[in-house]
A and B are shown apart, each in its own frame.
Chain A
Amino acid sequence: EAGVTQFPSHSVIEKGQTVTLRCDPISGHDNLYWYRRVMGKEIKFLLHFVKESKQDESGMPNNRFLAERTGGTYSTLKVQPAELEDSGVYFCASSPQTGRNTIYFGEGSWLTVV
């Protein structure tokens, strides 16, 4: 069974440009999460989808970040316009149900804004 897949694995963009990250969760997982880790710091929660609905987006840093999950399958996270402080690794994770259960992470999309 395929795990959580993310694309691109690495991206280098200039300040002010736009980047769109994609996440394909494990098939059948209704819950999809986005997290971000800035170098040397904790993994911070960004938002949580249940199917196509945003259940919790309290971690989104500002309105330059837009996440979507049309159809409740894959999700995209767009950063527009990108700033230097947006550099980091963006992890997507999924789980079959909400609650105390293991969430499975993808390998991350490493974003560098220069």
Chain B
Amino acid sequence: GESVGLHLPTLSVQEGDNSIINCAYSNSASDYFIWYKQESGKGPQFIIDIRSNMDKRQGQRVTVLLNKTVKHLSLQIAATQPGDSAVYFCAENAAGGSYIPTFGRGTSLIVHP
């Protein structure tokens, strides 16, 4: 079946650096993508989303890039801070379905002070 996956399970960065977390998806029918952040002991929290008619969307210190040609999604975090340490999940919603997000395995981001 279709799946959402992540290239790297763990990413370590220094405080102040930019972080890039990648995600590959295989369902060509997906038209809506979401990034969630899960801090230790908490539930996933919405960060940013993007629809398939866009290539890029920016938020506060975060940018999501979508490459539909290669079915790739990335989350860029500028000036990474220790508070950004968490597990990041990408999720996809397929058009024509019930729009229930399908999650990938997650990438653990570790920010070193």
Residues of A participating in the B interface, judged by any CB pair closer than 8 Å: 4, 33, 35, 40-45, 48, 55-56, 91, 93, 98-108
Chain B residues within 8 Å of A, Cβ to Cβ? 4, 9, 31-32, 34, 36, 41-46, 49, 51, 89, 93, 98-106
CB–CB B98/A48 < 8 A? yes
Chain A residue with the shortest CB-CB distance to B95: A100
| Complex Cα–Cα for A102 and B93 (A) | 11
A91 touches B43 (CB 8 A): yes
Question: Chain B's nearest CB lies how many Å from the CB of A41?
Answer: 6
The answer to whether A44 touches B44, judged by C-beta atoms less than 8 angstroms apart, is no
Q: Given B93, B103, B105, which contacts A100 in the complex, CB threshold below 8 Å?
A: B93
Known A43-B103, A45-B101, A48-B98; 4 more pairs at CB < 8 Å: A42-B103, A99-B99, A100-B99, A107-B41
Give every chain B residue within 8 A of A108 (Cβ-Cβ).
42-43
Quote the shortest CB–CB distance from B52 to chain A (angstroms).
10
Question: Which residues does chain B contribute within 8 Å of A100, judged by CB atoms?
Answer: 31-32, 51, 93, 99
Chain A minimum-CB-distance residue to B39: A107
> Complex formed: what's the CA distance from A41 to B89 in Å?
11
A112 CB to closest chain B CB, in angstroms?
A: 14
Write the nearest CB–CB distance from B32 to chain A, whole angstroms: 4
Interchain CB contact under 8 A, A105 and B98? no
A42–B105 CB distance below 8 A? yes
Q: Which residues of A sit under 8 angstroms from B36, Cβ to Cβ?
A: 105
Complex Cα distance, B36 from A42, in Å, reads 12
A45 to chain B, nearest CB (A): 6
Q: Do A48 and B100 touch (CB < 8 A)? A: yes
Contacts of A105 in B (CB 8 A): 36, 43-45
